[in-house]
Amino acid sequence: MHLKYESQLREPLVYGEKTYHQVTEDICRPIEAKPSKLWYIGFFIAVALLLFGVYSVYREVTYGIGQWNLNKTVGWGWDITNFVWWVGIGHAGTLISAILLLFRQGWRTGVNRAAEAMTIFAVMCAGQFPIFHMGRVWMAFFTLPYPNTRGPLWPNFNSPLLWDVFAISTYFTVSLLFWYSGLIPDFATVRDRAKTKLRKHLYGVASFGWIGSTKHWQRHESLSLVLAGLSTPLVLSVHTIVSFDFATSVIPGWHTTIFPPYFVAGAVFSGFAMVQSLMIIVRKVFGMEDYITMGHIEAMNKVIVTTGSIVGVAYLTELFMGWYSQNKYEGYTFWYSRANLFSPYGWSYWGMMACNVISPQIFWFRKMRRNLFVTFFMSVIVNIGMWFERFVIIVTSLYRDYLPSSWSVYYSPTIWEMGFYLGTFGLFFTCFFLFAKYFPVIAIAEIKYVLKTSGESYKDKMAAIEEQEPDEFAHAHAH
Amino acid sequence: MAKKTFVVGCFDDEAVLFPAVKKTRLAGYKIHDIYTPFAVHGLDHAMGLRETSLHTAGFIYGITGTTTALSGIGWILTKDWPINFGGKPHFALPAWIPIMFELTVLFSAVGMVLTFCYLCQLAPFVKKHHFHPRATDDLFVMVIETTAKTNVEDLKGFLKANGAVEVDVQVAEPGWWLGRYDKEQQLIRDVEVA
């Protein structure tokens, strides 16, 4: 007899009277039902945005970067802002699935599947920006080190931009493998319930012939654990390397050693906010309140207030260093271009401060952490704030740096620059809508695994155990 | 592989399954496999399976990645095409650490997943005999391989007595073949030609 016991004090992870079969039924229902009208409306809006994005990119590829308002001073604008923003969002999924797995956080099981999917789609969106920023996008493969007929001429391995190529592509590949290896058993579940031939065939192909053998599960557990162990430093390295794109340069405002931890905290912050926005909608639309509980939402809000405060400390440290270093360029950037509300871009700095540092402090109150409306509103605010953060870092550092004769006029994006950004929203939501319709949005096998320890109806039985003397308990349950 | 005869016992609770596994092994029956809807911890030990070495393979793939990155970049930047970046050394190890790390993770992850799929014979279009469709839903399906000496009726009674909710006998191909799940197919070599 193996031991299944979890303290009564912990909130249940699954509510209601559930059996294993009921879990399968609940999670497969959206896949097996016809999509609602709301789904079609959302999907078509997403596809329309995607098409607008495709047209914006088409113009940029045909006519060149001149379609955007970048100039030789502000050489990075909305494109790299959006790149860093999407990569940051893409950090929560792997954090939830990998780091929380290593920390044995049971609540990850309710949200990890959708968060990982979100990660993959966000990284896909992020990748578009540096690729199309190259201008001659058909030359993008020049960044890959392969034996070529031009020497061979190799990329510069000492450059943080090349590190980024490796980091983002590795991150995408590993996240995809991690996600898909978790999906295989769940696809097998959907396959074995399928009523139509086409569905049986397609889920049969996707399930790779999984039948749930004990040996396969043993290897699957080992694989998940090692992939989690690999992904944990990977997720920290990716945003560290993204921050190196800035930190290894000599631009005032970028040239700081605080960047890697500050970027990683910011990435987790924005990623969790995006998970909150999506999960609150998913649990409502699919009626998954029993699986994505208030406890899950509260736990994520705790992560948001923690990382938001870390980011806040980083902002204040930067301001302090801008003064303490007595470097006039740093001082100008931090105290004139950013912290001064009346400078040309002062609004963006204070927008960032309000959204990222001040407003998340509301989550110190339990009532607010467990309020759906506040959570949803805050999750959107946080993502707006994190977009401002990247905009502040990039544009306010570039537009007035060393030489006043090179100072830029006021930079604002063109419609095609904005269209590209909207297009990535289209891509993201098109993928997410398809995912929500055709994939199990909650990891079925993992919920079953925690059901008897953390399910509400099973936890009630633990009360009797908690009354027992420790010796009695050990006698009854020890191997 | 030729077809074999299996006795299949289905359990609906893992708390019943564990003692049944122990008794089945003590009684001398050969458990072919147990199919479960999720990873039941400790079942591999109860069945007497050995630990997997997949993580060792992952380590080997990982150090292959590190070595590939270090030797590749080292050769390119010091031998094949050394470039002078501001008078800095050609062998700039600290600057190579990010890519060395990324390739370590990439090789390890890709290698492990491919090894996992190879060992478990998982791939698109692979089909295996499924002893019970609810094994991926809510049943724990214990499959016992019979020999010429096995008394099938006794075994069925034995499984029932140990808590199986469903017991039946199946003649099946234990390997894998290429096929579709929406079509019933047999291996060509098993089809009798009239």
The answer to whether the beta carbons of residues A123 and A424 sit under 8 Å apart is no
Q: What is the spatial distance between Cα A354 and Cα B193, in angstroms, rounded to a whole number? A: 79
Residue A176 scores a pLDDT above 60: yes
Count of residues making up chain A? 479
Q: Above 70 in pLDDT, residue A337?
A: yes
Whether residues B115 and B128 share a domain: the answer is: no
Chain A residue at shortest CA distance from B176: A209
Nearest chain A CA: its distance from B144 CA (Å): 13
User: CATH number, domain at B20?
Assistant: 3.30.70.120
pLDDT on residue A162? 93
Residues A215-266 have pLDDT tens digits of 999 999 999 999 999 999 999 999 999 999 999 998 888 988 999 999 999 9
Given pLDDT bands bounded at 50, 70 and 90, which one contains residue A108?
confident
Final residue of a domain: which of B87, B119, B151? B119
- The residues that bridge with B140 in the sheet, in sequence order, are B11
pLDDT tens for B113-157 read 999 999 999 999 988 888 888 899 889 999 999 888 888 888 899
Least confident residue range of A198-212, A401-415, A425-439, A449-463: A449-463
Q: What is the span of the domain harbouring residue B113?
A: 54-119
Q: How many percent of chain A have pLDDT more than 70?
A: 98
**CA–CA separation, A401 vs A412, rounded Å?**
18
Kindly indicate the confidence band of residue B185, based on its pLDDT and cuts at 50, 70 and 90: low
Q: Which of A154, A216, A227 sits opposite B109 (nearest CB)?
A: A227
Instruction: Tell me what pLDDT residue A246 has.
Output: 93
> Could you give the 3-state DSSP secondary structure of residue B153?
helix
Domain closes at, from B65, B98, B119:
B119
pLDDT, residue A96, reads 80
The whole-angstrom distance between B10's CA and the closest CA on chain A is 14
**In this predicted structure, what is the pLDDT of residue B13?**
87
Query: Which one is predicted more confidently, A418 or A450?
Result: A418
Name residue B167's beta-bridge partners. Answer: B9
pLDDT reported for residue A426: 96
Weakest-pLDDT range from A165-169, B38-42, B174-178: B174-178
φ, ψ (nearest 5 deg) of residue B142 = -95, 125
* B136 and B168 belong to one structural domain: yes
Mind telling me how many Å the CA of B30 is from chain A's nearest CA? 15
User: Does residue A177 register a pLDDT over 70?
Assistant: yes
Contacts of A129 (CB under 8 A, 6+ apart): A79, A80, A82, A83, A86, A420, A424
Q: What single-letter amino acid sits at A50?
A: L
Of residues B185 and A409, more confidence is placed in A409
**Mean pLDDT of all residues in A337-355:** 92
Nearest C-alpha neighbor of A293 from the set A180, A208, A213, A370: A370
Answer yes or no: is pLDDT of B192 > 70.
no
For residue A5, name the pLDDT band (cuts at 50, 70, 90): low
- pLDDT > 90? residue A71: no
Domains identified in chain A and CATH numbers: 20-34+70-142+155-412+439-469 (1.20.1630.10)
Concatenated DSSP letters for A140-154?
A: GGGGS----SSSSPP
Instruction: Report residue A253 as tokens.
Output: 């405002």
Contacts of B54 in chain A (CB under 8 A): 219, 222-223, 226
Among partner residues B34, B62, B113, which is closest to A181 by beta-carbon distance?
B113
Between helices B93-119 and B54-74, what is the axis angle to 10°?
Answer: 140
**Per-residue pLDDT averaged across A329-341, rounded?**
91
Helix H or strand E encompassing A114: helix A108-133
Interface mutation target, options B93, B137, B143, chain A, most CBs of A under 10 Å: B137
Do B33 and B58 fall into the same domain? no
d(CA B133, CA A279): 31
Contact: A156, B135; criterion CB under 8 Å: no
Chain A CA closest to residue B140: A212
Answer yes or no: are the C-beta atoms of A69 and A449 closer than 8 Å. no
Domains contained in chain B, number: 2
Both B97 and B138 in one domain: the answer is: no
pLDDT exceeds 90 at position B71: yes
Residues A15-25, mean pLDDT to the nearest whole number: 87
Single residue among B92, B119, B146 that ends a domain in this structure: B119
Give the confidence band of B187 by pLDDT, cuts at 50, 70, 90.
Answer: low
| pLDDT for the residue A473 | 72
CB A470 within 8 A of CB A29: no
Q: Are residues B35 and B58 in the same domain?
A: no
Average pLDDT, chain B: 88
Co-location of B43 and B130 in the same domain: yes
Mean pLDDT confidence for A333-351 = 92
Q: Which of B62, B95, B56 is nearest to A230 (CA)?
A: B62
Is residue A356 packed enough to be buried (19+ CB in 10 Å), middle (13-18) or exposed (0-12)?
buried
Residues B133 and B184 in one domain: yes
Q: Do A198 and B182 touch (CB under 8 A)?
A: yes
With cut-offs at 50, 70 and 90, classify the pLDDT of residue A1: very low
Q: Tell whether B129 and B115 lie within a shared domain.
A: no
